[in-house]
Amino acid sequence: MKRRTLLATAPFVLAAPSLRAQPRFPSRSVTLVVPFAAGGSTDAIARLIAEPMGRNLGQPVVVENASGAGGTIGAARVAHARPDGHTLLMHHIGHATSATLYRRLPYSVTDSFAPLGLVSDAAMTLVARRDFPAADLAAYIAEIRRRGDRLNLAHAGVGAANHLCGLLLQQAAGTAMTAVAFRGGGPAMTELVSGRMDVFCDQATSTAPFIRDGNVKGYAVTAPRRVVGLDLPTTAEAGQPGLLMSTWHGLYAPAGTPPEVQERLATALRNALQDGRVRQRLADLVTEPVTEDRATPTYHRRFLAEEVARWRPIIQAANEYAD
């Protein structure tokens, strides 16, 4: 009788260490790394979702800025972090394009991360100085094609979203302009308003006030749908369906993060994107949250691979690299 009791209880004794080896997630605050300086759009979106994600997770989500090298320093930090879900990355389209722009990365864009879900989309706008001699997008493209490198194209540095949009614009026109790099989109826009730059392509978040005030001319938004509050056609409506681009943001954990932790984080993200304050603030930034089906690891993983493949030939054809 005594022996039977020992055998019956043995499985419970053996199982106890296994249960203790699975700590509850999250067991402490979660660090959300933004690979750019504070104050930019990526930082704003990260801080916006951090608070509701923290409520969902039951632990604070703390944003840390680790800027430098086009976002690759912060991304490397997360790629090499312990894969337990307590260190995350918020990055934009530059994560996908860095796979080609940087020929020597200390990580793999697709293999060193666990995509958790897309977060938001912001349309880009095609603009020019206010006295630019074109009435619509067709004339805008024709003028670029006619004048080529006699026109100055502003951007905020190789790999910036407005640089990438400029590459698409030059591809659509079939010619190269004289690219002029600035230390950020703000200085680039200042030079466009002054008339010292001719052409620019930047997020509607940044360009909308200048377009509305008549300080620059707007021609189209590079999105499938029109942007509320801007009287501009989409590029498809204006005859350039291939000129399509958004500045999208996504959330990542290090590769090897347990699937159940990934799903917990992805669920917290989806819940955060349903928060009324988050949605209103994104609208204020002239961006929008992604649909629920896109805020999933499966969709994000596929989309990231597609974006890497889409931008590789465009960057290689321009022969413009960041290293």
Domains and CATH numbers, the chain: 30-122+247-318 (3.40.190.150), 123-221 (3.40.190.10)
Contacts (Cβ under 8 Å, ≥6 apart) of 24: none
End-to-end CA distance of the chain: 75
- What pLDDT was estimated at residue 323? 87
- What pLDDT was estimated at residue 92? 95
Write down the pTM of the prediction. 0.87
d(CA 97, CA 315): 8
Average pLDDT per 10 consecutive residues for the chain, totaling 323 residues: 43 42 84 92 95 98 94 97 98 96 96 98 96 97 97 93 95 96 90 97 92 97 91 96 94 98 98 96 92 97 97 93 90
Contact 156, 184 (CB under 8 A): yes
Rg (CA), the chain: 23
Instruction: Name the residue among 161, 169, 245 with its Cα closest to residue 206.
Output: 161
Contact 134, 257 (CB under 8 A): no
The residue written with tokens 């997020």 in the block is 203
Q: Is 6 exposed, middle or buried (0-12, 13-18, 19+ CB in 10 A)?
A: exposed
Contact 104, 89 (CB under 8 A): no
- What pLDDT was estimated at residue 22? 55
